[in-house]
C-alpha cells in the first residue's frame, strides 16, 4: 500500500507544480479587450459552473486527459439548461450536437477529451446520468462529448482514458480557480506550433447592461498565424502556418465552451456561440480544412431550465430581448480571445511520443514583441 501511494504522489506532483507556477497573460500586463473581467477571469465566474479535470501522464507516450464542465450542481437531466452548438469547421467528432440543436437544451455535463476516447467518455456520461438519483426510469441520454486530436504528443491509438477517469473529472469538479495549460483534455494539445492546452476567461457586464457574466473555456489544438492582442507575434517569431520554418500544423481543433447567466434561449445562445469564433479568429486561427472548431453555449438562468417531465403544453419563460445581445456578443469575443492566449501562456514544454516535442510559448521573446507593439507598457 505504501509503494502505491508513493508512486501516485510522484505521478501527480509535477502536474500540481506546473499549475501552481503557471502565469496568465494579465500577469504580464497583457489586457485583451476593454470589458471588465469577472473576479477569477474564468468560466467559473458564472455562478454554479464547475470544472473538473483528470490528467494522464505516463512516461512520454501518454499525454492526455479529461476536462468536465458542469452547468450547475444538480441533476442536469431532470432540469436541463438551454444550449446551442455552432460549428465553425466540422472536421471533428462532437457527440450529442444534433439533439442539442434540435431541442435547444443540454442534459449532461460537457466532457472534453481526445478524439479516440469520445466513445469512452460517452459511456461514462451515460453511466453517470443513469445512476443519478431520480433517473431510475431514464432510457435515453444525450451525452455531449467534444474532442481534439492529441496524437502528436500522445499515444492516441492506445485510448488510455477510462470511464473512471471521466467520472473522476465529474466527481472532482469545483468552482473557483481553473487550472490551465497542459492539464486535463489539454495535456497533449498543440496550438500555433507551441504547447496548447486548457484556457479560460470571463467578462462581467456593468449593471446598466444587465450585470450578466460570460465565461469561456477552451481546449486549444489548432494552427494559424499567432496574434496576441493584435500584435503579430507569429510573424515576428517567424513561426507560422505555411512559413519556411513550418513547425505549425494548421490542422487540429478547438473546443470552445461558453457559459452565461443571462436568460438566453437556444436561438440567442446560437448567436452568442457564433461570436466565439470571432474571438478565435482574433488570435490568428484560420479554421483549416482538418480542424474541428465547435462552440457549445449554455445559459445557467434557473428560470429557463427545462424539466424532464413537463405537464403544461405552453411554457412562458422571460428571455433577454435581441437588442440587449450586443454587449454579450462583445463579452464572448473578448473572453474567447483571452482564454486561448491564456492556454498558451500557462502551458509548459511537453516531450511526447516518438520523440515529438511541443515547446512552450517563448515568453522571453514574446514579451519584448508585445512591448514593441505597445501591448504592454515599456
Would you please indicate which residues are annotated as catalytic (active-site) residues? 253, 291, 293
> What residues contact 145, with CB distance under 8 A and at least 6 apart?
94, 95, 96, 110, 111, 112, 113, 118, 121, 122, 125
Place of cell 502505491: 4
Grouping H, G, I as helix, E, B as strand and the rest as coil, residue 60 is coil
Angstrom distance (rounded) from CA 268 to CA 245: 42
Pairing of strands 306-307, 79-90: antiparallel
Angstrom distance (rounded) from CA 98 to CA 104: 10
- Of 227, 259, 274, nearest to 38 by C-alpha is 259
Angstrom distance (rounded) from CA 329 to CA 35: 12
CA 235, distance to chain mean position in Å, is 26
Place of cell 502536474: 15
> What residues contact 359, with CB distance under 8 A and at least 6 apart?
194, 195, 349
142-177 in b/e form (b: 16+ CB < 10 A) is bbbbbbbbbbbbbbbeeebbbbebbbbbbeebebee
Other beta carbons less than 10 A from residue 109's beta carbon = 23
Beta bridge partners of 56: 64
Other beta carbons less than 10 A from residue 306's beta carbon = 18
E strand residue ranges, 11-95:
50-58, 62-70, 79-90
Residue 86 has phi, psi (to 5 degrees) of: -115, 135
Amino acid at each position: 500500500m505504501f509503494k502505491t501511494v508513493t508512486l501516485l504522489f510522484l505521478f501527480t506532483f509535477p502536474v500540481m507544480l506546473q499549475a501552481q507556477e503557471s502565469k496568465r497573460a494579465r500577469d504580464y500586463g497583457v489586457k485583451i479587450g476593454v470589458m471588465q473581467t469577472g473576479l477569477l477571469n474564468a468560466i467559473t465566474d458564472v455562478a454554479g459552473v464547475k470544472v473538473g479535470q483528470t490528467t494522464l501522464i505516463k512516461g512520454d507516450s501518454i499525454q492526455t486527459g479529461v476536462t468536465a464542465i458542469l452547468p450547475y450542481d444538480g441533476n442536469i437531466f431532470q432540469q436541463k439548461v438551454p444550449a446551442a452548438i455552432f460549428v465553425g469547421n466540422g472536421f471533428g467528432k462532437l457527440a450529442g450536437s444534433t439533439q442539442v440543436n434540435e431541442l435547444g437544451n443540454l442534459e449532461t455535463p460537457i466532457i472534453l477529451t481526445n478524439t479516440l476516447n469520445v466513445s469512452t467518455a460517452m459511456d461514462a456520461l451515460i453511466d453517470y446520468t443513469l445512476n443519478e438519483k431520480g433517473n431510475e426510469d431514464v432510457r435515453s441520454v444525450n451525452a455531449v462529448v467534444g474532442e481534439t486530436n492529441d496524437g502528436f504528443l500522445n499515444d492516441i491509438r492506445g485510448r488510455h482514458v477510462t470511464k473512471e477517469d471521466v467520472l473522476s473529472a465529474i466527481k472532482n469538479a469545483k468552482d473557483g480557480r481553473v487550472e490551465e495549460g497542459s492539464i486535463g483534455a489539454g495535456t497533449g494539445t498543440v496550438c500555433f506550433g507551441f504547447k496548447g492546452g486548457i484556457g479560460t476567461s470571463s467578462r462581467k457586464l456593468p449593471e446598466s447592461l444587465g450585470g450578466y457574466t460570460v465565461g469561456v473555456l477552451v481546449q486549444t489544438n489548432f494552427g494559424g498565424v499567432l496574434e496576441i492582442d493584435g500584435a503579430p507575434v507569429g510573424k515576428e517569431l517567424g513561426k507560422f502556418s505555411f512559413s519556411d520554418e513550418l513547425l505549425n500544423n494548421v490542422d487540429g481543433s478547438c473546443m470552445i465552451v461558453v457559459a452565461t447567466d443571462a436568460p438566453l434561449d437556444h436561438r440567442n445562445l446560437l448567436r452568442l456561440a457564433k461570436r466565439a469564433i470571432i474571438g478565435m479568429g482574433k488570435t490568428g486561427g484560420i479554421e483549416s480544412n482538418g480542424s474541428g472548431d465547435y462552440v457549445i453555449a449554455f445559459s445557467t438562468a434557473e428560470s429557463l431550465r427545462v424539466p424532464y417531465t413537463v405537464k403544461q403544453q405552453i411554457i412562458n419563460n422571460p428571455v433577454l430581448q435581441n437588442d440587449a445581445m450586443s454587449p454579450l456578443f462583445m463579452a464572448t469575443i473578448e473572453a474567447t480571445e483571452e482564454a486561448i492566449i491564456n492556454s498558451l501562456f500557462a502551458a509548459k514544454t511537453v516531450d511526447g511520443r516518438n520523440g515529438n516535442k511541443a515547446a512552450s510559448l517563448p515568453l522571453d521573446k514574446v514579451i519584448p514583441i508585445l512591448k514593441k507593439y505597445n501591448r504592454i507598457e515599456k
